[in-house]
Amino acid sequence: MGFIQGLLDAVLAIGAAILWCLTALLDFVLWLGPALWFFVTWLPARLLGWSDEKLPVGQTASRGFDYIRDGADTFLDGFSDWTEAFIDLLLALMMRPPGVNWLQGRGFEPYFGAWNETTHPFVIVALVTALAYALHRKLGIAALVAVGFLFVLDQGYWEETAESLSLVLSACVVCMAIGVPVGIAAAHRPRLYAWMRPVLDLMQTLPTFVYLIPAIVFFGIGMVPGLVATVIFVIPAPIRLTQLGIVSTPQSLLEAADAFGATPRQKLWKVELPSALPQIMTGLNQTIMLSLSMVVIAALVGADGLGVPVVRALNTVDTAKGFESGLVIVIVAIILDRLLRVDRK
């Protein structure tokens, strides 16, 4: 599906989601009364031993998933189409040079004969190496990036690496787009953060395999359920670190901003966010590292990438393939960590 069509589907899906949320809110209010009555009558009987019936947590969750899947199918389909289109766009950028059928990949013909699918990975390596030097001004980091990606090319894992990076970058876009504003809101509203903290703890401590079940129910098999499970597992990191960075803004800077008559918006953009930038960048770094740690688990639900050869090696007890693919994952993680590390001054 084309990128433009995916965007149109996403817009329609957002409209359908708003209407469904209103309906779901009404249904929840209607369900809450009988549910509370059941709990009030069940609890004394259970405590006194008059009933062996356990609290139907699993059944309620299953019914809730079915309700969301049946009622929000338009939004879920639109979200899936947009996500797949965005992942395909990132994958095309890393796999193919400009040419005919560039995005689809089928029947691809490059515009330039020498710049083809074989030489394009070396162009990407050169660009990332230049970016590493521009960000850090250190030849050592640039050399590490170049040698690491050349090792990936030598081992023949460039396609899998590109697929994993597409998933990681997509997860980072979603997590940072949601995590930073939510972290700012939590920093300015301590009571909100107090309510959010148990939820964030649950998201980080719940086994990641549990996220895969509703993801498969909602989106089927493929890259999208892997992305959703990754986002749920990763998003607490940017929220917590952004909140920490904002609340750690020196009080003297805030008082100086107030003395000069700064508005709350001016204090946010000119004082708090610059002061919190190291923590926010640390949140981005942790987002990428945690997302990369999910590639093997995402492969269990059909997501492409470096997790696929690891799972195959596990199923066939192939030590050589398992060590190769595992080492490539480690090298990619080191490259991304060094590339995005911010030295605090």
Q: How far apart are CA 162 and CA 77, in angstroms?
A: 25
Domains of the chain and any CATH numbers = 3-100 (no CATH), 156-340 (1.10.3720.10)
Q: What pLDDT is stored for residue 181 in this prediction?
A: 93
Helix residue ranges, H only, the chain: 3-47, 57-71, 73-95, 120-136, 139-155, 158-188, 190-205, 208-219, 223-234, 236-247, 251-259, 264-267, 273-293, 295-299, 307-316, 319-340
Q: What pLDDT is stored for residue 150 in this prediction?
A: 93
Q: What pLDDT is stored for residue 205 in this prediction?
A: 84
- Splitting the chain (345 residues) into consecutive groups of 10 residues, what average pLDDT does each group show? 60 75 86 88 84 83 84 78 83 84 72 82 92 89 92 91 90 90 92 91 82 81 85 90 91 86 87 89 88 83 85 87 89 87 60
Q: What pLDDT is stored for residue 146 in this prediction?
A: 93
CB 121 within 8 A of CB 130: no
Q: What pLDDT is stored for residue 1 in this prediction?
A: 47
Handedness of CA 200, 206, 209, 211 (dihedral sign): negative
Q: What pLDDT is stored for residue 15 in this prediction?
A: 74
